[in-house]
Chains A and B, each alone.
Chain A
Amino acid sequence: MTGSGFGKLSSAKLLAAAALIAISSGAVVSLSVGYVVHYSAPATRTFYLFDGTLPFSEPTFYNIPHDTFVPDTITVDKGDHVVIHYINIEDVSESHTFTMDLPYKFDATLYGNATQQGVVGTYPNVGNIVLSQGQNATITFTASWAGTFRYLCEFHQPTMTGYLVVIG
């Protein structure tokens, strides 16, 4: 090694040359990849989620719940910060849950209804919250895993099920 050109150069010159090549090639590679891929940074995606009712009588159809989620599909990019404002708009005294399939968990802030106003509770890193009639919740999480994951109401299965689609 010492007999080569590499060995003859001083340490300072070798380090400077290596640094120059490394830094410039790093910049060129990232700019080239960015030019080809047109990547956009993860964003905050906000959704409004409601409970809905299908137009049929539950006792008539074997007590299958007629409750649904509106919307029943939420599509985001992997890495996005997701904010869901979930509102229980029932006109009768009926509760719903917002439950997510693992590995997803979320932070939730639950707000009261007409009789109990303001923040009712904050729930960090949970997989399930219950909303009474008229309550609403702000649910936040980061879409860290790509794939399709259910969000559901545990009280109204199987119909009240939605899907979080994370494109990775």
Chain B
Amino acid sequence: MEALNRLKFLRWSAVALLLVTGIFDLYYGNSFAGFYENLWYVMGGIYIFAALVIASNIEPHFSQLTVFAYTLFLWSLWATVALETGTGLDAVAYADKAVEAILAVNMVLLFRSSRISLNPR
């Protein structure tokens, strides 16, 4: 029972973090000009879609691993672009990436928990 509760907590915290990150990305695309702002919209949209997938618990092992990989992919993308061009180095981007880092840890814990627990769906 405790494991199930932990799994539910991790799943819903992941959903909340995904929504927060998605909204951050949409806000960034809307408010901060410069190259790549349309990509921020796409990234935000994918995060919100991912939140729905994780909330629905569809193919949890696959979707959780995919969201984890997507989070790291975007983190790496941002870090490389920032190092290369000096863009995306502002308070909103830092906040967004901080939440993304927490999300990645959350996804690791969720993935590990869901692999050893019953599917709570």
Residues of A bordering B, CB below 8 Å: 1, 6-7, 11, 14-15, 18-19, 21-27, 29-31, 33-34, 37, 39-42, 78-79, 142-146, 168
Name the distance in Å between A40's Cβ and chain B's nearest Cβ: 7
Contact of A42 among B77, B79, B81, B87 (CB under 8 A): B87
7 contacts between A and B (CB under 8 A): A7-B61, A11-B112, A14-B65, A24-B76, A26-B73, A27-B77, A78-B34
User: Interface size for chain B: under 10, 10 to 19, 20 to 34, or 35 or more residues?
Assistant: 20 to 34
A40 to B108, CA, bound (A): 35
- List residues of chain B with CB within 8 A of the CB of A146: 33
B2 contacts partner chain A, Cβ-Cβ < 8 Å: no
A69 to B111, CA, bound (A): 62
In the complex, per-residue mask of B28-40: 1 if CB is within 8 Å of any chain A CB, else 0:
0001111100000
Name which of B31, B35, B75, B86 has the most chain A CB atoms within 10 A of its CB.
B35
Given contacts A1-B62, A42-B34, A79-B34, contact A23 B72 (CB under 8 A): yes
Contact of B111 among A15, A40, A168 (CB under 8 A): A15
Residue of B nearest to A2 (CB): B61
Residues of B bordering A, CB below 8 Å: 31-35, 59, 61-62, 65, 68-81, 84-87, 108, 111-112, 115-116
Given contacts A11-B111, A31-B84, A34-B81, contact A22 B76 (CB under 8 A): yes
| For the complex of A and B, 7 pairs with smallest distance between CB atoms | A26-B76, A79-B34, A22-B72, A79-B33, A30-B80, A22-B69, A22-B73
A143 to B59, CA, bound (A): 44
Please state if A144 and B32 are interface contacts (CB–CB under 8 Å).
yes
Contact of B76 among A27, A40, A142 (CB under 8 A): A27
- List residues of chain A with CB within 8 A of the CB of B75: 23, 26
A168 to B32, CA, bound (A): 12
Name the distance in Å between A8's Cβ and chain B's nearest Cβ: 12
Contact of A30 among B68, B69, B84 (CB under 8 A): B84
Given contacts A11-B111, A11-B112, A34-B84, contact A144 B62 (CB under 8 A): no
A15 to B61, CA, bound (A): 11
Contact of A39 among B32, B74, B85, B116 (CB under 8 A): B85
A142 to B116, CA, bound (A): 51
